Amino acid sequence: MVQAVYDSQFTHAACGVGFVCRLNGTPTHGIVTQGLQILANLAHRGAFACDADTGDGAGILLQMPDRFLRAAAGPEGIQLPAPGHYAAGSVFLPPDHQQQTACMHEVEAAIRREGQTVLGW
């Protein structure tokens, strides 16, 4: 029997949100499929292309693909720490090279201020 993490006392009429996970942390393709189904089901609640210019942030959050990142980082000379001890991010940079460089320096400075290390881009 599956134990639900849902409690109806916290339900309010508001924007649609969905959450699917495996409580034991085992990654499966089924979880991704269910997450995509939630997005499809929430289209009628406005969780789909609400802002055609910038996007609405609807999507799925996945576990860090450690094996993939290691395979991609190795040829770049980047040695990753143990799983769970590093992060990855998406940074949208301007097309101008000088502006890109300036933005990258700002992002790296912010990361260093937080006591972290930039491993690579």
Catalytic residue numbers? 15
Biggest distance spanned by C-alpha atoms of the chain: 58
Rounded to 5 degrees, what angle do the CA atoms 30, 33, 36 make? Answer: 150
Torsion of CA 16, 20, 23, 26, to 10 degrees: -150
Give the DSSP letter of residue 96: S
Give burial (CB, 10 Å; 0-12/13-18/19+) of 47.
buried
